Amino acid sequence: MCIEIPPKYAVASVVGFLKGKSAIAIARQFSGKQRNFNGENFWARGYAVSTVGFELEAVRRYIREQEIADKGGQF
């Protein structure tokens, strides 16, 4: 996911909100759970952030290839 966050919002807050709400929605849709998500993890702990310096196309390529890298494959 590649998003642009306006400067008035804290990056950690936005990322935490997105990860939290999306994990709950996915768990409800695919696991049939309505409550009690304690101890379950859906997202990795980290994320990449840059204010300047990242080339947008390089970031997009990294995102597209992330699934392959996560499975231990080659690029």
Copy the structure tokens of residue 31: 């696991």
User: Is-catalytic flag, 62?
Assistant: yes
Cβ-based burial of 19 (10 A; exposed 0-12, middle 13-18, buried ≥19): middle
Catalytic residue (one of 15, 18, 27, 62): 62
Active site residues: 62
